[in-house]
Structure 1
């Protein structure tokens, strides 16, 4: 590695850019780096280290590299040009640092920058900009870490002087950082961890053996009463064979106890079997004796119930025969219910017909019209249409009577409709419902329902009634003298029926022109012919009148069309009138608006022009406003920073003074502690324990502490205080830097103008800009308003022309619609015939047709139901006779409900089964034979069995416990044998790894030098370093001194293998390096540093280090020794090396012509090269 050029800017004490040409300095081989204290000599070496590794030696962070003297706009940067492994490289690094914002006011933090370039064919080519990539490539090329580089290339003589006098432990720490021996330390740790793991496995195994011994002792119980319990608890750890022998004894004892318990269990089982057989025999005999006694008692009880059960069997037989009339009885009940429903429907239909106003149609009075026609005509008939307006029902309907009665009674001169008002239902005995007693019930026995299959049927009576609902208001009981019937309706009162007096087509009936009867009316008339008597005649009359009304409804279809046409023509006339009014209003409105159009357009155009001019003016003022705002903010920040800077600078100076005082206090305490270190070490001595310094176990005269001695805690507290003061100083300096940078940036923008003037200027520009912006904001609205006004003008003009054209075309259409409306209105008046509308007249007639057809159907249905009910009563009487009953009433009385019949049959079957079982029990031979024997005693037999059970359980428990103990001991014995065998290899492995671990950690007696593995490797490296350093030390000392490595053991716990001794050729003795004088210590440490550099270089792969730096120490040498040292350093040029010496010694300036002089001043330091 050879350095060529270094350029650093704003780095450390250097405020401006500084260039160092190492090629020129290295031409002579030796060059001197000198200057005043604090000038920045070490900062030049720090810049080299920072360029390579991105960090500097010591504890200074990379973020504190920026010079406090640098200007705000000057960035901190280090550029190093060097040759590594034959490659010409250039490394540029910039640390993280504050800078002024490029936009706006304030300070921002700029990230760190790294750039690696390589020269190829005379041109620089970029290699990487990544911190990680550049750092890794440099480490691979140099072959050393940053710490190794600082020890090898930047030789700090003070540290190597300390190394000469250091203890073995301290030397191991330094050598461990220079030579990577972590793998050997890892081997030590691995062996130690392996030893601990193997030991833990053995401990776990011994613990398992002890646990097995305890479990075996617990499982054995009484088997180890006479044994040594401690032997079981401690067995296995040292004597696994003895433990296994004791386990075998326990297993043998358990087997013997199990055999004895098994024999006792067998004897108890035999005794239990005999007692169980005796108890079973006693229980069986006692059960047979009790069974025979119970059979005798049950037979006596059944004899007492014989007559009662015979009567019940007779009743069940009659009920079984009565089930044959069930179908006929169920059919009769259904017809009774249906007849009641048809009667109610008839009354409801006739009542609705009576309360409705129906139109009547005939030629006039005296032409065959029905009764009351003359009064209807006099009451206001429309002679033009020949159809009456209608009339209400007189008579009973007007007086609030029963409408059904009024409907069936007929009017004056009209006989009532036979069969419509009353229902005479014949009974099975030939009687009539009219024979009922008071209240509508028959004179015979009532109150008991005997309808078979009905929900309310009761078998306790012989005769019953069927409840039939009445339309007049509640249920009435209908019945006859011999069976159930239907309650007759009340007698109908006299009144008029609003029906025509003759059938369809009779004399005096006139029809409208073109009206024909509908098909529905003809069908109903045909069905009515199936009726009988006067009921059939009334059905025919109702259907005939319904047919006539349906023909009239059909003729009104054309009237509905006329009504729709009248409404359509009227709507068209009204629409024409509305259009005429709207057009007149539109023409007036358009005329007025167009008269004002010229003035409106001029005003809108002037508004738009003013808004456009304001928009142009606002654009010009926006730039001025931004500049005024920036100057105002910069002025505020400038004044604020100016006020903050002076206190911050004073605080930085105070922090610097406090940090200096804390450092001096810490150094004073450290010197005091070192002076009294003997007393501190003596305080740690203990009788019989070796001394940490000399290793002796005897302490005849330990040093006594002074009254004001300084402890390590005092020193640590002072050092911590110094660190805090130093951190406070760094923070104060960094704050001053940030404030200065921000102040320079704010001053550059605001200048020296007072803050009030800047604020006033900004406010004036802002007011002008806001006014222009508000005016410009109205431009879109003004433009849109003008466009809307022009569109409105076009729309108004078109509206005016359209209205005039429509008015001219509207006159002819109005005359045509007036003529059509007059003609259609006449036709509609004839079709409505006084009704609100044709649809209302059609709806009235259609409702009348529906009522007439409904009444006809109800009358016919009631007549048919009377005939079917009479037939059902006759069928019921015949079924009763076939079942062997004298009458239907007798058969009905014998009927039982299905559930009751099933229960009676089940009860009789149970009686039969009970009587048969009693007879069988009395006839059984075993109970009879048992009754002849003496009485059994099952209680005594059971007591003997219980005693045998107790003995059996005890024997079984003892055998089970012995078997469990035997099995458990066998299982634990097998586990113990397996565990002992499993631990045998683990013991062997532990012995092997423990021996290796003790040897590597220097705790084994076999390690005579008490060297750990890592120390052994470091001792080999130190031996190489001592050999290389001895050659140079011999030349520097004129052949007197030579450094040699010593692996002699130290006293007490001192490590061996890292000792250094000096061989004095003049006396022929070997002595400690601590006996060297100050000058001898310097060139001995220099020789050691050079030797260490050679060894580390070889360790790193033989990388050539063509540039070295040696820091301080030459002032302790006399003139002759200095010449010899310089000759040795000059001899390094034989390898084409350049050596830079950092020193204050004035004599070196005369001896070394190539020099790099560092000067310092209030504005920062600077470098100056000199070669002569």
Structure 2
């Protein structure tokens, strides 16, 4: 992968459009991104990552604030990157999601994220470009062969990440390596084994539970459980043998007791037959004795029944006489009611009544012809009322339309003025926006100015203090160095011996050896002073840079504010905002006011047409009401005469017809009363005749002999029962079966019954025991067959589970796994070992052969899993020590070597994609001049291999060593880029 061209617009601190030509920057294979702190050096790396993956490294991605805060609202935030991957050149363009001001109205709207991929040349496989975010992401990841996390660790070597990795715990290091080497598939293998073991364990447990249930069932059925030291199969065979013996014994007992029961039952049947004959003789003799004692009462029942059987004809005649009397009473009552309703004399002749009814009907027929006129009269009156209501409503509507027609010219004039006001407000609002934006920024600068001034003065003071401290440290170093040089001759003189050559000049004579000095200085003292001087120099540079930055901030704010005060700016801004709100309120109503004016202009003709229509309708309604009123008055005179004292003609006619009907019903009631009186007299005579014919002296005697049906049935049934008992008793005593049987004889049935009961119970118990023994033997045999089959099925399942469980333990770092390393940890340990070997070559060169990485697969403390240990071998001491013991500069060398080694291994792991471009972000400030030379030599080797290496640093010495530099300048309006050589 090689980067060619990068464009950023309104991205991070870059407000305007910025362009980076990586081909020009990387012509020497090595270039530097430098600039003030916060100027946007790392943002350029973020832009590369965002163009490729739509994300930026670290916590900056969580903030979701990629757009430049000072960018113009109309400028679109985007990043464009041209690169070559696997021989194909392509162009990537992305825009993040961000909030922008609405073009109309207040508030903000969401600008959606976009992405596109364009092939600049022959596309692989004839593919077309992509415009969907997910399609672009899949294509980039497929071409690069690495995920976004791997890219951030392999191509963009971030600030401090590998120093943390170097000192990380096993768990933290494992988490990073998993992301880089994508070992999820090995975790899936571990999980597959665990899940498979769990699944097979459930199957084994299910079959084992089935076996346990079958064993428990056999124990329950047989009543016997296996001993703790007894094999279950031998226990099952013993159960089968015991069952056969028990079955044979119970069957023999059942046969013997069955014979005894049959003999006892035969004896009991014989005694029961004799007992039944004696009982029957005793019952017959008792019945005959009881019937003889009740003979007189039975005769009275026969006489009562005979008299009751002669009463029915008399009852029929009596019922007919009662019905005739009831009809007569009803007819007399109806006649009295008819007389009262007709309001006539009860003795009025019938002919006169018929004539009066005819007169009423003739009068009703005479006024019936006026009924249609009465109905029309009511309809016309309702119509007159409806017309009056319509006329009143139309008159109100006419007045309202006339008033609206009069007011229309003034309303149209006002509406036109409102439309012009809204248009002017919109024009003024556009010119007011830029002034508001400028004034807002100026006010913010005025408010920040005092704090910026204080920060600048404080930073200047700290910078002066740092300069003084650095000067003191330099003076101390020079003093110690001079004192040490002065004392070196004395040190050499102390090592001379008479007659032995001098280690400096070789002479055996020492005419004037040096003398010791007061307060000698050693190499350690000088080294400590140099270290402190370097630290003071670093603090001096940082303080000076901070003083320059704060002074620039203060000067920019002062230039922005000028002679204006914060209060005056705030007052002016408040006034402009109030004016903007008023203008926006008027401008927003332009559409509404335009529609209102159009509506008023159209309504003039509409109101004129409505007035003409309603006035024509009023004239028609008034003429119709006048004509109807005249007709109603003339018809009312005729109707008043015809209805008389009644409410209407219909009511008077109904009254006359009702009177005629009442008179008719009176005549009919008289005829009905006369017929009922004659019939009642006839029925009374028939009743007396029926009583004499039935053999009774009078009607009253016949009624006294009357009995109900229940009593008659009772007498009939009782007499039939008496005859039946007598006949049955005599027949029984006369039968041949009971001949010679004495009713007083002793039977002896209880003894035979008790013997049969005892024999039957014993036989039933023996049958139950035989049945239970047979059922138990059959159940045990069936369960034993199922249990043997379950044992046969369980054996291979248990063997397979044991094998799978042992293998799963090994894969997950347990059981027979001596190193206690899971498969995933083993793969990561192998990858880490490759990284350690690759990184050691660079670390040995950078440290002049002193340090190299040592990978350890030993288990951790308290039995924790191992495999990811990473220490350093110190060639000076020959001992392996933890990476945490390295100094700051040594840690940077180790971290950089580790990062480069990891990048090589990950690149090879992800498919061998050649990574021609590499970025290293910060960390060079911890190195001294000699060590920096070694690091630069290592970086030269990288570019000698064809790579382009971009360094991100603010260290001044780096600028002197690298010929091509990209300078990031930070200003109030946003950062800019410039190439320096």
TM-score, with length taken from structure 2: 0.66
Please give the alpha-carbon distance, in whole angstroms, between the structure 1 residues aligned to 2:838 and 2:220: 73
Of 646, 670, 673, which residue of structure 2 is paired with 1:855? Answer: 670
Distance 1:759 1:919, change over 3 A: same
**Unmatched 5+ stretches in structure 2:** 459-559, 561-567, 645-650
Contact map agreement 1:611 1:779 (CA 8 A) in 2: no
- Distance apart, 1:1096 and its partner CA: 3.4
- Distance apart, 1:330 and its partner CA: 2.6
- Distance apart, 1:346 and its partner CA: 6.7
Q: Does 1:82 align with 2:83?
A: yes
Highest CA radius of gyration, 1 or 2? 1
Residue 701 of structure 1 corresponds to none
Of 668, 675, 679, which residue of structure 2 is paired with 1:865? Answer: 679
Contact map agreement 1:168 1:1054 (CA 8 A) in 2: no
Residue 1125 of structure 1 corresponds to 938
Partner of 2:977: helix, strand, or coil? strand
Q: Does 1:330 align with 2:330?
A: no
Contact map agreement 1:157 1:1089 (CA 8 A) in 2: no
Q: Does 1:35 align with 2:35?
A: yes
Q: Does 1:145 align with 2:129?
A: no
Deviation sequence 1:170-208 (CA, Å, 0-9, x none): 765544322222222322332244345545655665566
- Distance apart, 1:144 and its partner CA: 1.0
Partner of 1:61: helix, strand, or coil? helix
Partner of 2:228: helix, strand, or coil? helix
- Distance apart, 1:1154 and its partner CA: 2.0
Deviation sequence 1:1051-1101 (CA, Å, 0-9, x none): 99697877889999x99x998997999989877766665554444334433
Please give the alpha-carbon distance, in whole angstroms, between the structure 2 residues aligned to 1:553 and 1:1123: 142
Residue 292 of structure 1 corresponds to 281
Residue 906 of structure 1 corresponds to 717
Please give the alpha-carbon distance, in whole angstroms, between the structure 1 residues aligned to 2:867 and 2:825: 7
Residue 138 of structure 2 corresponds to 136
Please give the alpha-carbon distance, in whole angstroms, between the structure 1 residues aligned to 2:84 and 2:751: 120
Distance 1:24 1:954, change over 3 A: same
Please give the alpha-carbon distance, in whole angstroms, between the structure 2 residues aligned to 1:42 and 1:975: 75
Q: Does 1:990 align with 2:801?
A: yes
Of 919, 922, 928, which residue of structure 2 is paired with 1:1109? Answer: 919
Deviation sequence 1:56-112 (CA, Å, 0-9, x none): 222333435447873574665433233344554443434444444444445x36355
TM-score, with length taken from structure 1: 0.57
- Distance apart, 1:801 and its partner CA: 9.1
Distance 1:157 1:1050, change over 3 A: farther
Distance 1:853 1:10, change over 3 A: closer
Distance 1:5 1:920, change over 3 A: same
Residue 302 of structure 1 corresponds to 291
- Distance apart, 1:1106 and its partner CA: 2.9
Of 916, 929, 938, which residue of structure 1 is paired with 2:727? Answer: 916
Of 316, 321, 327, which residue of structure 2 is paired with 1:341? Answer: 327
- Distance apart, 1:908 and its partner CA: 2.1
Residue 229 of structure 2 corresponds to 231
What does 1:929-968 correspond to in 2, within 5 Å? Answer: 929-931=740-742, 934-948=745-759, 951-952=762-763, 955=766, 959=770, 962-963=773-774, 966-967=777-778
- Distance apart, 1:299 and its partner CA: 1.0
Distance 1:606 1:51, change over 3 A: same
Contact map agreement 1:1083 1:1125 (CA 8 A) in 2: no
Q: Does 1:752 align with 2:573?
A: yes
Deviation sequence 1:477-520 (CA, Å, 0-9, x none): xxxxxxxxxxxxxxxxxxxxx54xxxxxxxxxxxxxxxxxxxxx
- Distance apart, 1:1169 and its partner CA: 1.0
- Distance apart, 1:30 and its partner CA: 2.4
- Distance apart, 1:900 and its partner CA: 4.0
Deviation sequence 1:712-743 (CA, Å, 0-9, x none): xxxxxxxxxxxxxxxxxxxxxxxxxxxx9xxx
Residue 967 of structure 2 corresponds to 1157
- Distance apart, 1:215 and its partner CA: 5.5
- Distance apart, 1:153 and its partner CA: 1.6
Residue 18 of structure 2 corresponds to 18
Residue 44 of structure 2 corresponds to 44
Partner of 2:978: helix, strand, or coil? strand
Distance 1:85 1:930, change over 3 A: farther
Please give the alpha-carbon distance, in whole angstroms, between the structure 1 residues aligned to 2:426 and 2:66: 34
Deviation sequence 1:449-475 (CA, Å, 0-9, x none): xxxxxxxxxxxxxxxxxxxxxxxxxxx
Distance 1:177 1:259, change over 3 A: same
Distance 1:197 1:893, change over 3 A: closer
Contact map agreement 1:353 1:855 (CA 8 A) in 2: no
Please give the alpha-carbon distance, in whole angstroms, between the structure 1 residues aligned to 2:265 and 2:738: 23
Q: Does 1:312 align with 2:272?
A: no
Residue 154 of structure 1 corresponds to 156
Contact map agreement 2:278 2:741 (CA 8 A) in 1: yes
Please give the alpha-carbon distance, in whole angstroms, between the structure 2 residues aligned to 1:314 and 1:64: 123
Residue 465 of structure 2 corresponds to none
Please give the alpha-carbon distance, in whole angstroms, between the structure 1 residues aligned to 2:407 and 2:150: 83
Question: Larger RCO: Structure 1 or Structure 2 (Cα < 8 Å, ≥ 6 residues apart)?
Answer: 2
Please give the alpha-carbon distance, in whole angstroms, between the structure 2 residues aligned to 1:648 and 1:215: 93
Contact map agreement 2:324 2:676 (CA 8 A) in 1: no
- Distance apart, 1:904 and its partner CA: 3.0
Of 956, 980, 1000, which residue of structure 1 is paired with 2:811? Answer: 1000
Please give the alpha-carbon distance, in whole angstroms, between the structure 1 residues aligned to 2:401 and 2:923: 101
Deviation sequence 1:251-289 (CA, Å, 0-9, x none): 323433343344344444444444444445445544443
Please give the alpha-carbon distance, in whole angstroms, between the structure 2 residues aligned to 1:838 and 1:1077: 132
Distance 1:142 1:608, change over 3 A: same
Distance 1:838 1:295, change over 3 A: closer
Please give the alpha-carbon distance, in whole angstroms, between the structure 2 residues aligned to 1:150 and 1:1018: 19
Please give the alpha-carbon distance, in whole angstroms, between the structure 1 residues aligned to 2:903 and 2:584: 71
Deviation sequence 1:591-630 (CA, Å, 0-9, x none): xx9xxx9x99999876554444444444455667899999
Residue 185 of structure 1 corresponds to 187
Distance 1:624 1:286, change over 3 A: farther
Please give the alpha-carbon distance, in whole angstroms, between the structure 2 residues aligned to 1:972 and 1:231: 22
Count of paired positions: 833
Contact map agreement 2:93 2:115 (CA 8 A) in 1: yes
Residue 788 of structure 2 corresponds to 977
Deviation sequence 1:1106-1163 (CA, Å, 0-9, x none): 3222345664555874564354123222xxx422233456555444322212344666
Distance 1:29 1:909, change over 3 A: same
What does 1:227-266 correspond to in 2, within 5 Å? Answer: 229-231=227-229, 242-266=231-255
Contact map agreement 1:157 1:1085 (CA 8 A) in 2: no
- Distance apart, 1:118 and its partner CA: 1.4
Please give the alpha-carbon distance, in whole angstroms, between the structure 1 residues aligned to 2:915 and 2:769: 93
Partner of 2:292: helix, strand, or coil? helix
Contact map agreement 1:1022 1:1045 (CA 8 A) in 2: no
Residue 370 of structure 1 corresponds to none
Distance 1:312 1:191, change over 3 A: closer
Partner of 1:334: helix, strand, or coil? helix
- Distance apart, 1:51 and its partner CA: 2.0
Please give the alpha-carbon distance, in whole angstroms, between the structure 2 residues aligned to 1:1072 and 1:641: 58
Residue 1138 of structure 1 corresponds to 948
Partner of 1:70: helix, strand, or coil? coil
Please give the alpha-carbon distance, in whole angstroms, between the structure 1 residues aligned to 2:261 and 2:316: 73
Contact map agreement 1:9 1:76 (CA 8 A) in 2: yes
Residue 1170 of structure 1 corresponds to 980
- Distance apart, 1:3 and its partner CA: 1.7
- Distance apart, 1:149 and its partner CA: 0.9
Partner of 2:573: helix, strand, or coil? coil
- Choose 603-612 or 349-358, whichever is displaced more: 349-358
Please give the alpha-carbon distance, in whole angstroms, between the structure 2 residues aligned to 1:894 and 1:602: 106
Please give the alpha-carbon distance, in whole angstroms, between the structure 2 residues aligned to 1:17 and 1:865: 132
Please give the alpha-carbon distance, in whole angstroms, between the structure 2 residues aligned to 1:214 and 1:842: 103
